[in-house]
Amino acid sequence: MSAAITIDVQQLPHGAGLALPAYQTAHAAGLDLLAAVPEDAPMILDAGKYALVPTALTIALPPGFEAQVRPRSGLAAKHGVTVLNAPGTIDADYRGEIGVLLINHGAASFTIRRGERIAQMVIAQVVRAELVTVASLGETGRGAGGFGSTGR
């Protein structure tokens, strides 16, 4: 079992009545994010178009953590709707509203209704790298082989 951390969350006024993100199963990695669009004005995402969908949530991640916004497989499989910049990264020092950039790769328009599960948010630890300039890199069996070069 993985360790739990506490994350402060604030629900903005346009999210009143919506549930907080939640894990749907005991071993789920992602918390479902809900669309905070007006009840009487669902968002229409036409085929080939993208839009920033509000969640009405702000969070305070502890230093050393990030939140990744990832697609929901059901939306992608059934409707061709996915997260455009997947995974989107929410840094520990960001305090604005979490928005989900959805794109419709499907053939038909997709209606985003209030409270619909539109993405999932995975909390992950971050390792910061210190880059060091060197004259050359160590040799490997792969070398500079690029796209499609492994498994031959």
Predicted local distance difference test score (pLDDT) of residue 150: 74
pLDDT for 145 equals: 78
pLDDT confidence of residue 149: 72
pLDDT one-digit tens code per residue, 16-71: 999 999 999 999 999 999 999 999 999 999 999 999 999 999 999 999 999 999 99
pLDDT at 146: 80
pTM (predicted TM-score):
0.89
Which range has the worst mean pLDDT, 21-25, 44-48, 106-110, 143-147?
Answer: 143-147
Residue 21 to residues 15, 53, 98, 128, Cα–Cα distance (Å): 12, 15, 12, 27
pLDDT at 2 over 80: no
Residues 6+ apart with CB under 8 A from 62: 5, 7, 92
**What domains sit in the chain, N to C, each tagged with a CATH number?**
8-125 (2.70.40.10)
For the sheet containing 50-54, what is the strand order? 50-54, 99-104, 81-83
63 preceded by a cis bond (ω within 30 of 0)? no
Q: What is the pLDDT of residues 68-105, one digit of tens each?
A: 999 999 999 999 999 999 999 999 999 999 999 999 99
Instruction: Of 114, 99, 44, 34, give the one whose Cα is nearest residue 72.
Output: 34
Q: Residue 79 gets which letter from DSSP?
A: H
Residue 108 scores a pLDDT above 80: yes
Task: Give yes or no for residue 1 having a pLDDT over 60.
Answer: no
Written as six digits, the tokens of 48 are: 């080939």
